[in-house]
Structure 1
Amino acid sequence: MKTVLVPLDGSEQSWNALEFAAEEFPSATVHVLHVIDPVEAGYTATATVPGYTEEWYEQAQERADELFQQAEEELGAESMKSATEVGRPSRVIVDYAEEHGVDQIVMGSHGRSGVSRILLGSVAEAVVRRSPMPVTIIR
């Protein structure tokens, strides 16, 4: 049986990737991964503002749980495993795939180009470069 990893960030592109994975690999076990990126909070994980880091993390975890519930409704619980990890998304995605014996990564791309891509980087591109397994990018 094939194992597919779909990183889910709640964007339309990530939902399209989940839909693609479900259609293309109907008998696969789908790992749905949500990465909590501390950079999104606008500070480092070692922030010294009491309670702020913990509160932000709890909200991010609640969002992940909501995403997993939606994904489970789409895929069905028997074919889905979910996980939340903290860190730099491109690194976490590849590390998770390697640690869990994933056969294929299917992920959405935001399709940024030009200056925004240079400034923000491309998680999808970094995953493609680092991944030892095939990666399918969905726009």
Structure 2
Amino acid sequence: MTTRILVPFDGSPPSERALEFATTEWPEAHVTLLYVINPSDAGFTPSSGVPTGAEKWFEGAKADAEELLAEATTGFDDAVDTMIEVGRPAQTIGEVADEAGYTHVVIGSHGRQGVQRILLGSVTEAVVRSAPVPVTVVR
């Protein structure tokens, strides 16, 4: 069975370290970088409806994600592929891992602690708690 690794990627140093770790630790694995476009970044919530300019915002967010992922995969040839999804990041990461048959998630951690972690929330923590597959957290 081929090892299939999902690496949530947002261009931050922790996500870059997660990509490096995944490709070094499992050099023969199928690695996918996942960028999740979060609609709440544009002010969209189910109760607020679609905000004015949402389509333009989404197209810009998608173009930014494509550029970021293209830069991240430079030098990996076909060893790393990419995926862009829309949704709440932690939930979407778990759903993609489950539905697409990934065997492992490797995710970066910003290393926040205490009150800052509580106030800001933690995608990494939510993924660790709810992922349907093993998760490795890289600092």
Aligned to 1:100: 100
The whole-number CA distance in structure 2 between the counterparts of 1:40 and 1:116 is 20
Q: CA deviation at 1:10?
A: 0.9
The whole-number CA distance in structure 2 between the counterparts of 1:16 and 1:10 is 10
User: Counting helix residues as a fraction of each chain, which structure ranks higher?
Assistant: 1
Aligned to 2:39: 38
Aligned to 1:14: 15
Which segments of 5 or more consecutive residues in structure 2 lack a partner in the other structure? Answer: none
With over 3 angstroms needed to count, the CA separation of the structure-2 counterparts of 1:6 and 1:72, relative to structure 1, is same
Q: CA deviation at 1:43?
A: 4.0
**Which stretch of structure 1 is more off in the superposition, 37-46 or 99-108?**
37-46
1:24-75 CA-partner distances (Å, limit 9, x unpaired): 01111101100001122244373342xx111111111011101221122142
Alignment of 1:42-53 (within 5 A): 42-44=43-45, 46-49=49-52, 52-53=53-54
Aligned to 2:55: 54
Output the amino acid matched with 1:89.
P
Output the amino acid matched with 1:35.
V
Report the TM-score when normalising by structure 2. 0.91
CA contact (8 A) 1:35 1:85 kept: yes
With over 3 angstroms needed to count, the CA separation of the structure-2 counterparts of 1:48 and 1:20, relative to structure 1, is closer
SS at match of 1:75: coil
Count of aligned positions: 136
SS at match of 2:124: helix
Alignment of 1:1-139 (within 5 A): 1-44=2-45, 46-49=49-52, 52-76=53-77, 78-139=78-139
What is the identity percentage for the equivalent residue pairs of Structure 1 and Structure 2?
48
The whole-number CA distance in structure 1 between the counterparts of 2:60 and 2:129 is 31
The runs of 4+ residues in structure 1 deviating greater than 4 Å are none
C-alpha RMSD over aligned residues: 1.4
CA contact (8 A) 2:38 2:89 kept: yes
CA contact (8 A) 2:107 2:137 kept: yes
Which segments of 5 or more consecutive residues in structure 1 lack a partner in the other structure? Answer: none
